[in-house]
Structure 1
């Protein structure tokens, strides 16, 4: 079947049933994504963590609480697929390494990413979280997350690079107070404009 003639629901069902990296995982694959053709904001993270893997709900952890705070939205709004699409760089929990979760599995993005992104025609803002997402969505010479985020206005208003909202990143936030002083208010304003357009 031509991928463009496939219904979006059928495409999502194929993604959610994907077992491409099963042999490389020590647990059953469980792709965790959220999207609809109506989605207005795209959230691009790294890969689900263990808690997200167990619950099947993206950003259902302290990282998600902080991300929702940065965006200025409720859980209900965040999990409304008509409003938000959530497509991490790897759709399955990759497992844990010596210093935290492993990187997103490399099989995922080539198999699915463009198929999905090409159908999301209503996206007005993309939030790009962390180094793996930024390497894909902001191509060019390799730069640190801090450097990319510091130059956030270069990508405004369609895309905003973010540090990871993980509690492990509290030291980064303390060292870079400009992020919560300047970037977060701009994100909240932009998100509000998109989700609550003037009638």
Structure 2
């Protein structure tokens, strides 16, 4: 990557980190959390930071992240290496709490910032779409009728996209009801990641 392109990306990162588009709707204030590098081969698109991630400023620095890294069979050092992984949530800031957990990602983030960041990620070979919001935005009408069916049909979206359930502990019942995920999906995911890293 040329010096000029590196400088453009650094300026974009600073611009995003100072974003205040939906400041009035954020209970803890704006604090965009993401991680990108021009050499990344795998892009992780999740939902939005939780309170722990908001506090630390480190994406996926919680129980969900620990479970995701188990699925990928990578340690934290590899996961946070921007030469391998870039991490861009659908909503860059903590959206607040609702009746049944965190609120959905703010709708302003993805249309405002994702395409601009994509322009600086020329080496992405695989994009992990984690949760219904990433599925909806990136798969659109290609989604199946349910999130479960979309994840079960992951091969339909390869080689570019790999749709996944969110690794939140709140989805424990889903995993108990869908043992095929660990049996069929996780081994393929690990192999795809292993090849790329």
Verify same fold: TM over 0.5: yes
**In structure 2, what is the equivalent of residue 177 of structure 1?**
179
Within 5 Å, give how 1:76-87 maps onto structure 2. 76-87=77-88
Residue ranges of structure 2 left out of the alignment (5+ in a row): none
For residues 20-64 of structure 1, give each alpha carbon's deviation from its aligned partner in whole angstroms, at most 9, with x where no partner exists: 110111222000000011111000100000100000000000000
Give the match's secondary structure for 1:139. helix
CA shift, 1:137, in A, is: 1.0
Counterpart of 1:159 in structure 2 is 161
Taking the aligned partners of 2:27 and 2:160, their CA distance within structure 1 comes to 38
Q: Which residue of 2 aligns with 1:191?
A: 193
Residue 24 of structure 1 aligns with which residue? 25
- Out of 137, 146, 149, the position equivalent to 1:147 is 149
SS at 2:176 equivalent: helix
2:106 matched to 1:105? Answer: yes
Question: What is the aligned length?
Answer: 192
Pairwise CA distance, 1:118: 2.4
Give the secondary-structure state (helix, strand or coil) at the position aligned to 1:160: strand
Return the offset for 1:119. 2.2
The secondary structure found in structure 2 opposite 1:140 is helix
1:96 match: 97
The TM-score with structure 1 as length reference comes to 0.93
Counterpart of 1:43 in structure 2 is 44
Deviation beyond 4 Å, 4+ runs, structure 1: none
Structure 1 pair 192–7 and aligned structure 2 pair: CA distance change class (3 A) = same
| TM-score normalised per structure 2 | 0.94
SS in structure 2 opposite 1:7?
A: helix
CA drift of 1:9 comes to: 1.0
In structure 1, the residue corresponding to 2:175 is in which secondary structure? helix
1:194 and 1:5 mapped to 2: Cα distance? 23
Q: Structure 1 unaligned runs (5+)?
A: none
Question: Are the aligned partners of 1:46 and 1:133 in contact in 2 as well (CA < 8 Å)?
Answer: yes
The root-mean-square deviation of aligned C-alpha atoms, in Å, is 1.4
Q: Distance in 1 between matches of 2:38 and 2:6?
A: 14
Deviations 1:104-155 (A, max 9, x none): 0111112111111122110011110010000011110663210110111101
- Is the 1:131–1:144 contact (alpha carbons within 8 Å) kept by the matching residues of 2? no
